[in-house]
Structure 1
Amino acid sequence: MRDCVTVGQKPQDGGPGWRREHRVLRFGLATRVLILVVAFVMATEITVYVPIVANYRDNWLRRRLSGAYTATLVLEAAPRAMVPASVSRQLLENVGVRIIVLKTHGTRQILAAAALPHEVDEFYDMRHSSLLQALASTYRTYTAKANRVVTILGNAPTPGDAIEVTMDEAPLTAALHHFAWRVLLVSLAISMIVACLAVISIHLMILRPVRRLTTNLIEFGDDPENAARVIVPSGHRHEIGCAEEALATMQDTLVRELNQKKHLAALGLAVAKINHDMRNMLGSAQLLSDRLANVTDPLAQRIAPKLVATLDRAIRFCQATLTYGRAADEVPKPQRMELRAVVTEAAESAALCGSERIEFANKVAPGFEIWADPEQMFRVLTNLIRNGHEALVRAGPSPGQSARVTATAHHEGGRAVIEIADTGPGVPPMVRAQLFTPFSNSSRPGGSGLGLAIAADLVRAHSGSITLVNDADSTGAIFRVTLPMPPASA
């Protein structure tokens, strides 16, 4: 049993906001279970107790009738005048009755009689009494006043005969009180023993594991980022054991999610600081790249436009985005665009981080159009192509394959489908479940784990989808991007 106290006080400035001090009395689970078990056992004992007492009374009366019938055998064996009055009284005293009457073939015969009562307080026929009648008569006997006289009628051993006795009820009342108290004490002892055993068993099997769960929940709630506070399952196969395993899984997931969000927040702050200086650096680089336009070298003339376009794209991206964690990407501005040229440009950008030994095959048909934002689709394709290049650089191609990244596109079911495939080792099964989750799938040294997550977010912004194709007949990884077709009015 525990007291839960909430204490409040009047503000020092005397202003509004009283919080009254109150005390809430709350019973613990163990105390509640003990009270309930004792109550249930006592209710069961009472249900059995009353019929037991009534049965004791009936047996007591039957013994009196049996003694009275034995006395009738003695009285009938001798001639009426031959039984002295003293012997008759002695028989009545031994049996404990005042009058013995034998009913035979419809006739009543008083065999012995002592002091006759002025009146009989109750007549009880044991031959035809029901359970309710027995319980009611037992109650009247238990609560009877002194000097009550009752008449009891019961069957005699001889078929067709009945024996009737009139007796003082005081000895029966005293015997009933003594028996009732004895049964009550035994019932209380049994109730306490059963209740204690039940509470101990329930405490060991239920309450203690539940208390372990609640304690862990409270401690984990105080510091949900601390992995050391994740509950360690007991390994039991019952329902609470399964709840512990589920709680451990949930807490472990929550710890990782909170730490990931914390890292994202820190990354967002860092990128926000970097963004300002990066724009200045890229601005300076843009001024230098503009001077390449005046160089007469054919190679410089060919590279300068692409360099300028890349720097322009980087500057716009820095101005539009602070961090992935803040997800400040602009809303897509879709338009009809030719895909093949964007794929080529993305491949050239991604190949800067790759190797000359890796082949890129652009199998997108000339004139194939999609409905997308050119800048954002360029970022999607760059991330996917770079992902394939890095996989080939890091692990090499699959046995019997050349190092190659392939881009294809086709229409399927009224949607545009773009596939970027590589001949690398493929994606490990353990990584696939969180492939598009930030910071969870980067196995490359120095990688951020954001490339596929950014691509997935940009594709979803276009009302499309991106998936990893699990094709048993193919080698490497195949990423499929599905985009809606342009509206008819576009």
Structure 2
Amino acid sequence: MSVEPSTNESGARSGPAHGGGSRAVPLSRGLSAKLILLTIIFVLLAEVLIFLPSIADYRMRWLRERLNTAAAVSVVLIEGDPASLSRTAQDDLLMAIGAKAIAVRDGDVSRLLAVASMPPRVDEHIDVANTGMVAQLTGALNTLFFGGDRTLRVFGPVGENNREFELIMRDYRLRAAMLSFSRNIALIALLISVFSAMLVYAAVYRIMIRPVRAMTRSMLSFSEAPDDPSRIIHPAARADEIGVAERELSQMQERLQKMLAEQKHLADLGLAVSKINHDMRNVLASAQLLSDRLRQVKDASVQAFAPKLLRALDRAVSYTEGVLAYGRAQEAPPARRVLRLHQLVEEVHGLLDIGAGIEFENMVDTGFEVDADSDQLFRVLTNLARNAVQAMATDADGVLVRRLAVSAERMGGVCQILVTDTGPGLPPKARENLFVAFRGSARSGGTGLGLAIAQELVRAHGGRLELLESIGGRTVFSVTIPDQPVSLDRARRGLRRPA
């Protein structure tokens, strides 16, 4: 039974889990929900910063209004006779203002104009004309959170004369007015936050979220069928970061598709080579049996080249077995021994198909020794020398010097082998992919496997294969192989002398 994919809010298709997790993105975790939520939170935080000075200013304006009202009533009382005002009228007046007492100071003279009952203590003194911003904020928060049963003394000048009016009042009406103002501000802030979130979402959705969803769908679609060219994203003509991301994703998908095609080609080629190599090994085994009979021939010339032929057949059989085992394991670790490099170079020379006009110089000292695997180092030098001979064979001009030279030097515990030829040099494309199989060949029809194999074998020795120079008339490859490290216990045993 097949599972039909579905499309969720973020544009990703859900289906069977890959890599231990689902590809479906819940609505609550999508970019849209996160963007709206964050916008609302940030706008509310901004409104909180605006709310604090607003509520402090509202408190001071409320107190000033009460003080102005008391001043207006006090002017009438001052012009008339305050004593003629009955107790009932004073209580009604004070109740209307919300005060316990009203007083006025004119110069150095203070008069109590109306009083209901004097509280035992005053919790806060507020000078409406000389209260700083910090004091306003602190007082507003105290009234908002801890008020309702506190007594305030509010005073300050009113008008252009020198009179200063004073109120003694409870703060429950002030706190109720502040709470009502706060609710209104909170409701307005919430509406502004939601409206701002929708506007921001509409803008960001068009600029960012929609192309991000398109890239997400493209990646999921490409992962299902990476060999399908139609699954590659088509980038938009944008100059911003999203445009760059789309173009990079498109190029990455193209490179990945090309690499997968090459890997499939290599797999198919490897299978074909293994089949051919299996039959080749049988043919070489038969040739090896026939060559053994050459040892019984008494001819001197046959006895001279028979060992070289047997050695070549042994190496060929070993190579075929290595190719068959390559798909199951890595290259066998080198069996390192101390070798005479001069003789090994001579064996390489004997197996090279060197045409007329090409010189071969073995410049390695006869006593030079190297710590390496004989067969693997032979393969490395053979590949380098064969490439050099093939490169120089393309030059048919008889006046050109065509020479292949192999030299070596030791620097402490490191041996450096130089393979130098006077060929035309490597083209730039070959130098860029020098050690990449099927891409680093310098001639038409080549596979580039020789240098790739040589590099792998040198690395197995802990060394390095590199191109030192490649210009018209001179190409130099360097093979650097360090000696095997000697264990401390082995060195101590070698230093012990028999008793």
TM-score normalised by structure 1 residue count: 0.73
Aligned CA distance change for structure 1 residues 149 and 252 (closer, same or farther; 3 Å)? same
* Counterpart-to-counterpart distance in 2, 1:122 and 1:455: 99
Q: Establish whether residue 420 from structure 1 lines up as the match of residue 422 from structure 2.
A: no
The corresponding residue for 2:224 is: 222
* Counterpart-to-counterpart distance in 1, 2:144 and 2:322: 94
Pairing 1:47-446 to 2, within 5 Å after superposition:
47-70=49-72, 72-73=74-75, 76=78, 78=79, 80=81, 101-105=103-107, 107-110=109-112, 125-127=125-127, 130-131=135-136, 132-137=138-143, 152-157=154-159, 161-165=163-167, 180=182, 182-204=184-206, 206-208=208-210, 210-224=212-226, 229=231, 254-255=256-257, 258-289=260-291, 305-322=307-324, 324=326, 326=328, 329-351=331-353, 355-394=355-394, 396=395, 401-446=400-445
Query: What per-residue deviation string (whole Å, max 9, x for no partner) do you get for residues 176-220 of structure 1?
Result: 677555544443333233323333444455544544554444334
Aligned CA distance change for structure 1 residues 80 and 209 (closer, same or farther; 3 Å)? same
* Counterpart-to-counterpart distance in 2, 1:297 and 1:371: 37
Pairing 1:36-51 to 2, within 5 Å after superposition:
36-51=38-53
Tell me by how many angstroms 1:136 deviates.
3.4
Structure 2: runs of 5 or more not aligned: 1-7, 18-24, 495-499
Correspondence for 2:479 among 462, 477, 481: 481
Aligned CA distance change for structure 1 residues 454 and 175 (closer, same or farther; 3 Å)? closer
Tell me by how many angstroms 1:38 deviates.
0.5
The corresponding residue for 1:18 is: none
Query: What per-residue deviation string (whole Å, max 9, x for no partner) do you get for residues 289-335 of structure 1?
Result: 56667889987776655444323321233234416555554433333
Structure 1 SS opposite 2:103: strand
* Counterpart-to-counterpart distance in 1, 2:171 and 2:413: 101
For 1:415, the aligned partner's letter is V
Structure 1: runs of 5 or more not aligned: 9-22
For 1:272, the aligned partner's letter is S
CA RMSD for the aligned pairs? 4.8
Moved more, 67-76 or 173-182: 173-182
Contact 2:337–2:371, Cα closer than 8 Å, also in 1? yes
Tell me by how many angstroms 1:233 deviates.
6.5
For 2:312, the aligned partner's letter is T
TM-score normalised by structure 2 residue count: 0.72
Moved more, 425-434 or 284-293: 284-293
Contact 1:398–1:423, Cα closer than 8 Å, also in 2? no
For 2:435, the aligned partner's letter is F
Structure 1 SS opposite 2:446: coil
Structure 2 SS opposite 1:136: helix
Moved more, 32-41 or 462-471: 462-471
Tell me by how many angstroms 1:54 deviates.
3.9
Moved more, 128-137 or 239-248: 239-248
Tell me by how many angstroms 1:288 deviates.
5.0
* Counterpart-to-counterpart distance in 1, 2:336 and 2:172: 106
Query: What per-residue deviation string (whole Å, max 9, x for no partner) do you get for residues 366-413 of structure 1?
Result: 33332223222221111111111222234x399985222221122233
Structure 2 SS opposite 1:470: strand
For 2:423, the aligned partner's letter is G
* Counterpart-to-counterpart distance in 1, 2:240 and 2:247: 11
Aligned residues: 459
* Counterpart-to-counterpart distance in 2, 1:104 and 1:330: 110
